[in-house]
Structure 1
Amino acid sequence: MLRKKGYLLILALIFVFSISTIAGAWWIFGGNEQATWDKIEEEGKIVVGMDAAYKPFEFQDENGEIVGFDVDVLKAIADKLGIDLDLQNTSFDGIIPGLQANKYDLIMSAMTITEDRKKAVNFSDPYFDASQVIAVMEDSNDIKSVDDLQGKVIAVQLGTTGDLEVSEMEGIKEIKRFDTIPEAFIALQNGQVAAVVNDLPVTKAYIKEHPEVKIVGEALTVEQYGIAFRKADTELMEKVNEALAKLKQEGTYDKIYAKWFE
């Protein structure tokens, strides 16, 4: 009899554990649509994942504070929603897995909207137009267009659309992938690579401080940036889209753009 009771107790515990596990998985993978926004309202803040090494979109200033175009747009969105910001600096190649693991509520990190990424996350309405360009040293004459990348060693940031674009090219001698884009440019300046393929606004910002680097050829792509959300968080996405639309209508977005790009 005691053995039977013990057996039944074990079965009951297994059942409770199974239900808890299923409930947890449901929250993570599809049932947290209401819960995420409720959590944000309750805590009074929104947690954002970004790779703060991508000037002028997100980077750390001399005081270690994360600043940039994306940050200012986020602050304006947060003001519209009546909440505070909690910015989490993270590597770009692991940023979508981090979102899916609930480390933050959304991603805003100069992320290009792509079909592959849409399989993993939902995107807000586009908030920035960009493109991929080729950067070389000012005294370089070997590379003038994309055709000249054949047989060369090219630097990119790991997991970016620059990485994806170069990976599809034929005839590249080697692709060196770096965790941050400043590391890729340092490799260029040290002669470790022949060129860097990267987003135009970030490359232009780097050239302002390093005129020994130049852009060559035409843009390789036409891209748009979006804010990324977990698939279930449609309510949060709608609220962010509404706030973003208001910022554009009232001229706040244009003022932020002028601050960082004009």
Structure 2
Amino acid sequence: MKLTRIAATLLSIGALGSMSPATAQELTGTLAKIKKAGSITLGVRDGSVPFSYLDDKQQYQGYSIDLCMKVVTALQKHLGLSQLKVVMNPVTSANRIPLIANGTVDLECGSTTNNLERQQQVAFAPTMFVIGNRILSKKTANIKTLEDLRGKTLVATAGTSTLKQMTILNKEKNLGMNIAIAKDHPESFLMLETGRAVAEANDDILLASQVASAKNPGDYEITKEALSVEPYGIMLRRNDPAFKKAVDDALVRLYKSDDINRIYAKWFTAPIPPKGINLNFPMPPQLKAVLANPTDSGDPAAYAAVPEAQKTSDKKKK
């Protein structure tokens, strides 16, 4: 009996030891870098409302930043740190991938589409949002479909998958569009607002936030036609399995808790700063399904986020 108790005690001590924070000797890659520096660098956006943006107090906030801060808390515990300094590093659509790849930024907390092409350069954490690429225009322009933009000026943001998609579709469909390139999302909307472009192509939730923030929201409309349905994910460096596992585990725990519903409601169904706009964007069924079964795949065929109506539409197009 004594031997049994001793063995049980030793097993218990071993189990506790296996659950202790990671030691410096065990760490490699980004985890080792963060532990040594006592800080983590987040890539943030100035105007990707409501995901990552500057408020009127020049503070970065948003849905993506809230998720990243949950990850930061988990990493601090994992590394056994009493505190972990957070450095906010502004990024753009054009430079976000290079800054992740070269180690300047540890986590990109913005509104980045996860696709197979980008996975050749960076890694992605489990999907945090699902969007449809659509077109925004003034109602007076009467733009209902992509075909209605034949020979007209469309604006898209530099470095986005939407810009690449519009360029490809313009050529494939011989639309003769003039595609203007803006440096960021606010500039894209400004070009539409001031008449330098007839329409803006972007992710539907970003377009919805632009309309809600506009001087005259009733002047604009977003097409019902979705040109594609894609996942958003937090970016991190490739070939760093220990760091990716720590980030993924933190997000999966969050997705399986009630906190994710609270965070979602805070940014999509309640007034948000600085103007108190409410996007009134309840969590769609496809996003609920993805959060219930997290995936970091950027292959549309690998996740069940595409509405049946869109699948049918895509089949007809083929």
- What is the TM-score with the length of structure 2 in the denominator? 0.69
CA distance in structure 1 between the aligned counterparts of 2:66 and 2:160, rounded to whole angstroms = 22
Alignment match, 1:215 = 222
- Pairwise CA distance, 1:91: 1.8
Unmatched tracts of structure 1, length 5 or more: 1-32
CA distance in structure 1 between the aligned counterparts of 2:236 and 2:94, rounded to whole angstroms = 16
Alignment match, 1:40 = 34
CA distance in structure 1 between the aligned counterparts of 2:266 and 2:260, rounded to whole angstroms = 10
Q: Give the secondary structure class of the aligned counterpart of 2:70.
A: helix
Q: Give the secondary structure class of the aligned counterpart of 1:62.
A: coil
- Counterpart residue type for residue 163 of structure 1: L
Highest relative contact order (Cα 8 Å, sep 6+), 1 or 2?
1
- Counterpart residue type for residue 160 of structure 2: T
Retained in 1: the 8 A contact 2:162–2:202?
yes
- Pairwise CA distance, 1:260: 0.6
CA distance in structure 2 between the aligned counterparts of 1:135 and 1:216, rounded to whole angstroms = 7
CA distance in structure 1 between the aligned counterparts of 2:85 and 2:247, rounded to whole angstroms = 14
- Is 1:237–2:244 an aligned residue pair? yes
CA distance in structure 2 between the aligned counterparts of 1:78 and 1:259, rounded to whole angstroms = 20
Retained in 1: the 8 A contact 2:29–2:243?
no
CA distance in structure 2 between the aligned counterparts of 1:133 and 1:45, rounded to whole angstroms = 38
Calculate the aligned-residue CA RMSD, in Å.
Answer: 1.5
- Counterpart residue type for residue 208 of structure 1: A
| Matched pairs, number | 229
Q: List 4+ stretches of structure 1 deviating above 6 A.
A: none
In the TM superposition, what are the counterparts of 1:132-143 in structure 2 within 5 Å?
A: 132-141=133-142, 143=143
Identity fraction in percent: 27
In the TM superposition, what are the counterparts of 1:131-210 in structure 2 within 5 Å?
A: 131-141=132-142, 143-170=143-170, 171-210=175-214
Unmatched tracts of structure 2, length 5 or more: 1-26, 77-83, 270-318
Q: Give the secondary structure class of the aligned counterpart of 2:56.
A: coil
Cα displacement string for residues 88-109 of structure 1 (whole angstroms, at most 9, x for unaligned residues): 1022201111122221112222
Alignment match, 1:23 = none
CA distance in structure 2 between the aligned counterparts of 1:176 and 1:40, rounded to whole angstroms = 40
Alignment match, 1:98 = 99
CA distance in structure 1 between the aligned counterparts of 2:107 and 2:242, rounded to whole angstroms = 12
CA distance in structure 2 between the aligned counterparts of 1:45 and 1:130, rounded to whole angstroms = 32
- Pairwise CA distance, 1:256: 0.7
Alignment match, 2:265 = 258
- Counterpart residue type for residue 41 of structure 1: K
Query: Taking structure 1 as reference, are residues 44 and 200 closer, same or farther at Cα in structure 2, changes over 3 Å only?
Result: same
Retained in 2: the 8 A contact 1:154–1:172?
no
- Pairwise CA distance, 1:84: 4.0
